[in-house]
Structure 1
């Protein structure tokens, strides 16, 4: 079965144009609305006033940098560095002030020496389309490597795939058929439910592991955010016959969502501390 083509250097399959950036903005706002914080309350940092040693925070897989932009309002004196394998969605750095930098980093490769032991907090979210059961521990190890002793790691994820069967029948609903089709090229994501174990395996102390289903008032925008991402995947399908099949299912899924269909999946937040 043909699958969407992606760059060897950039495994992200949901696009990096302005539609994709708008989708990520909505995604961020939904998470913030659901939880009410940018940094989990178990992350104990000095007060927002300037301290003797500048607080350093990293956002890995920063995308559009919107999380950083919001955090600068809470932590205006902190040095906040954004990293992503692609810089295509970065905003102008001057919009975020002098204490923000954005650069490129492949977190799946060996960690540059300059980043080791540098950060009080490392934040990452939504790697479900790029991290697999086979390589996710590499990511966790690199994130830990970025932390100062006593530094915090915050990982935000969504557990979507586990709510569906491994294979779909043609008689199944459109969401199930599309999700199972995605399994043919998305990485295996059993690791999402094992984040605490993965953290502990590299010596991190797990402080909290939160799972929440989206509140009913946010089901509609979550559905729509998902459908926008799926449309981006559909645009990348090479086979015209397969593309037509996919778009018909996508239209059906959109109609079902309008009628109240939704997936009872979970948002996952795992917080850990580098006790070394």
Structure 2
């Protein structure tokens, strides 16, 4: 699968601080790529550099097989839609009039305005002043503006931030329909794993400006495999029994962690423990949630 965005060694320095450090992103074409990280991790800065709104300290950015630089920037932007941070509009103008300004700058016909208004479900509010729009309607109007001209790439920075549950679901549904309906590649950022989990097929996790994970979302789910935690009166002897049967285990806070086994296998090991006079005092199934994995990747896990 070809990449629509590739960055290599991308850095952004502010004084002595590195806001983004040696970032190597690979965003495949035709997917929703979730760019995940805590607030202040460098998501917005990275997106601004991809759009040419911020100049990298060093490193390269390739979009549509073109390097993002002064010579190629306009050609890249013609095929790119974006919504960075909160959308801004002229409050005294209607939703349609605000989009008319953007379409005029892009030299697009009025039919394009009607198309995107219908897609974001604002056709019935197009003549309402933007200052009277709810936050969710403003986000949808911002998305409509980004979709004018049917771009190949859409870059969205925290598009559900501040919305109520109904507004979040609405924006999410619109975003999820874009690759299939229009062939648009979407790069969407969020600090909420639950949001990215419901939208993206590929994911990049950034923490303190550094990329700590990048792969299909399914690879992150694979990290949450179930394990069995066993606590005995003699973990050393119990570990020897497991090793003699070819079972790999880890010791963690007084427990032996082993791969998940079926009931018959597990019962067989308990019988072996009893024969060796090893008392089993506790057994439990453990499974890391995606939130646990995210917190570990970003160094935010609470150690008790």
Question: TM-score scaled to structure 2, two decimals?
Answer: 0.29
* Structure (1 or 2) with the larger CA radius of gyration: 2
Question: TM-score scaled to structure 1, two decimals?
Answer: 0.32
